[in-house]
Structures are given as structure tokens and as C-alpha cells.
Amino acid sequence: MKKIALLAAVAALVATPVLADTAAELNIAKNHAGMAAKAADLKTTQMHLHHAVNCLVGSAGQGFDASAGNPCGKAGSGAIPDSTDAAQKAKLQSIADAAGPGLTTTDLATAQKAAQATADAISP
């Protein structure tokens, strides 16, 4: 009987989905955008800025790039999909969209400026 109860408890833990932590996703996104703004080279700036975007949009979102890495992968499905407030979703999508030029530019100062604007706009 104890074995059955133990197996049931383990099965429940395995089947339990990860609970979304939107505040954690926003904190991680803000931190990575801040790191991007202070990075010394374009590659590092864009990598961290993409981490921020990935945390916002989630793995199923527009603009997600798995090759850039997803530091929010264990925190939830992305701040936008995990948010339950329509106004917050719209604001976060706007922030993610505004970061786009920083990801495609070839100019370090432009990428850093986009990263700083992203960091400033995110409020956990």
C-alpha cells in the first residue's frame, strides 16, 4: 500500500506542469536587456537582447530564437503568453517589437540604445 501511495505521489509530481512565474520572466528579461546595454561588443549585446526578447515572447512567440538561448525556459512559457492581463500583454509585445532593430543592426551603439530602452520599459 505504501508503494502505491509513493508511486502515485511521484506520478503527480512528474505530471505537474511548471507553474508560470511572469515576475521572474520579467526580471530575467530586464536583467538581460541591461547586460546587453552594457556589453562591449555587438555579438554579446545582441545575444543578451535576444535573451530578453525570448523571455518576453516565449518559445512559441514571434521573434523567438532558440539558437540565442532561453534563460526563462524554466520560469514559464514567456511573459507575454503567461500574462493574464490584456493591457500588459500588449505593452510587453510592444517592448519586444521595439527591441527588434537592436537585434538586426550592425552598429553597437544602436543595439545598446535599443537594449537600454528595453530594460527601461520592462517593469516586473
Condensed to tens digits (0 to 9), the pLDDT of residues 36-79 reads 999 999 999 999 999 999 999 999 999 999 999 999 999 999 99
Asked whether 108 and 45 are in contact (CB, 8 A), the reply is yes
Q: What is the pLDDT of residue 106?
A: 98
Count of residues in the chain: 124
Q: Worst-scoring range by mean pLDDT, 3-17, 24-38, 71-85?
A: 3-17
Q: What is the pLDDT of residue 19?
A: 64
Q: Is 105 helix (H, G, I), strand (E, B) or coil?
A: coil
Whole-number average pLDDT of the chain: 89
Q: What is the pLDDT of residue 5?
A: 46
Q: What is the pLDDT of residue 76?
A: 94
Beta carbons within 8 Å of 123's beta carbon, 6+ residues apart: 26, 30
pLDDT at 1 over 70: no
Q: What is the pLDDT of residue 123?
A: 87
Report residue 2's pLDDT band, with 50, 70 and 90 as the boundaries: low
pLDDT at 7 over 50: no
Q: What is the pLDDT of residue 20?
A: 80
**Residue 26: which of 51, 61, 47, 63 has the closest Cα?**
51
Share of the chain above pLDDT 90, in %: 82
